[in-house]
Amino acid sequence: MADEIAQVVDLEYKGIYYLLKGTKAMIAAMVSGIKSLHKWNHEKWLNKPGSSSWQKIQEASEGMAPILEFPNEMFEPIIDITNDPDIKGKGRISPFEYYCQKNGLRYCIMPDLNPNDDYIPVAVLAQDFGIHDEQIKAYMRKRVESEEATDKSYEEKISEAKDRLEDAETPEKKEEIMKELEALEQGRNQNSELLAESKGKMEKNNVLDFADYLKQAKDTEFLDNPDLAMLQAQTCGVVREFMPEDCMYPIRDKGLVPESNELYYSQKTGDDTLLTVKRSFETDEKGLVYSVYEVSDPVTGAKLEPISDRGVTMALWNEKLTGILRDAGMMRDEPMTVMRSEDNLHDYILGLDTNFTKAREDGQGISGEAQIVIDQARKDTEQASAYARSFYSTVTVPAESVMPSEKRILSLEIDDGLVEGISLVGMDSENAKVSIRSDEKYSYIGSDGKEKILTGDEILKALEGKAKGESKDLAATKNKAR
């Protein structure tokens, strides 16, 4: 019980002071997260003028560096600087980059702990707050005006639909209009929430209190495993988990549609298989958003008939959702991750598989007799090494030969086919290290689409033969050159 009582703690770390509030367990998690933040520097922004680390921004700031939530549209590359007298370079950059370069501002793009909203957290120098505030307000005013106009449009459409409902002459026509009305009201409510959020942020000057920033990490790895969350932030984005009904609901307002027009929902099974459902967004003739879900059979991989939520009421959708999850092999009472693009999903699969390999090496997530054997083997270093070698072999392959299959399973290309279910140990721009278990059975999909089963030994021999063949070709080429 004592641990559930809120504590207030002053923390000083590397010269920076933090005020933390929460239970002892939460504060301990926050401290781990703060330590990881002090090593943070967004790799995609490393070469951008003004981009800096969290630690350096705090050191240069006259007071605690505030975190501001910037509207996503401020990061869209729409300004051509090719002939700009004030900015060096060519091509297009975002409004954020433009005014930061023009004013010589320093900043730190923070890990986005709330990746499914439409804002990007950025730490700025306290002395530069006024310049950033002016720019943010200009974009927030446009956003609020757009959302207010959308709200007015919904009201007009709802009023017009109600008039048509009164004049409807058949039960079928009435039912059609009632479904349209429900969708319009859903869209209006969703837009109203976005409008309230925008106004609320404007009232706070888009300032995100540091404690509130950390609270956004709920249902992510940041508080339990901050290093993993930091790795995700550099690639696929910090991954948050949701229950299916909290993320797979009908979206009717375009303000909630991601830029990619797609979402990918994933659940991991007990045998480390990642099951994925793709959701695509479309717009009907009345301007209402609807979704199409693509589901594959979890056993055969065959694509099933797409399912749409167009014209579907919430009551009916709850029934359909159960069917979608069942067909995909997913559980309704288990959380799932949400990726906002196929590229993010690919990066997530690569990172997830690397984590699986490390878990095996660490003996995590293994129970029963296997765990006992591992524990006994680890009592002696040589025994442990021999045990690991007897099951897994790590080989180096070209990076382009590692890819997700149609079933979103990490795969290795061999002889114009794909071996599904391999484990990734490491990867750079040229090579990838994959781990293959000698006694494991793997699914191989040939170029003709036919599937057969290969053992790990067979795959390793095929890779070895390929490497020897390439070596002979290289030697022959050298002999000819002589």
pLDDT at residue number 380? 38
In this prediction, residue 348 has a pLDDT band, given cuts at 50, 70 and 90, of: confident
Domain borders along the chain are: 1-38, 47-216, 226-344, 378-481
In whole numbers, what is the pLDDT of the chain averaged over residues? 83
Residue 262 has pLDDT above 50, yes or no: yes
20: its two tokens = 């933390």
pLDDT in tens, 263-315: 999 998 776 678 899 999 999 988 899 999 999 888 777 888 999 999 999 98
CA 181 to chain CA centroid, nearest Å: 33
User: How confident is the model over 66-74, as a mean pLDDT?
Assistant: 97
Q: Is the pLDDT of residue 468 over 70?
A: no
Above 90 in pLDDT, residue 17?
A: no
Q: What is the layout of strands, in order, in the sheet containing 207-208?
A: 107-109, 119-124, 67-71, 207-208
pTM over 0.75: no
Distance of alpha carbon 408 from the chain centroid = 15
Say if residue 18's pLDDT is above 90: no
**Whether 408 contacts 349, CB under 8 Å:** yes
For residues 94 and 197, the answer to whether their CB atoms sit within 8 Å is no
Q: In the prediction, which pLDDT does 359 show? A: 39
Q: What is the CB neighbour count within 10 angstroms for residue 404?
A: 20
3-state secondary structure of 55: helix
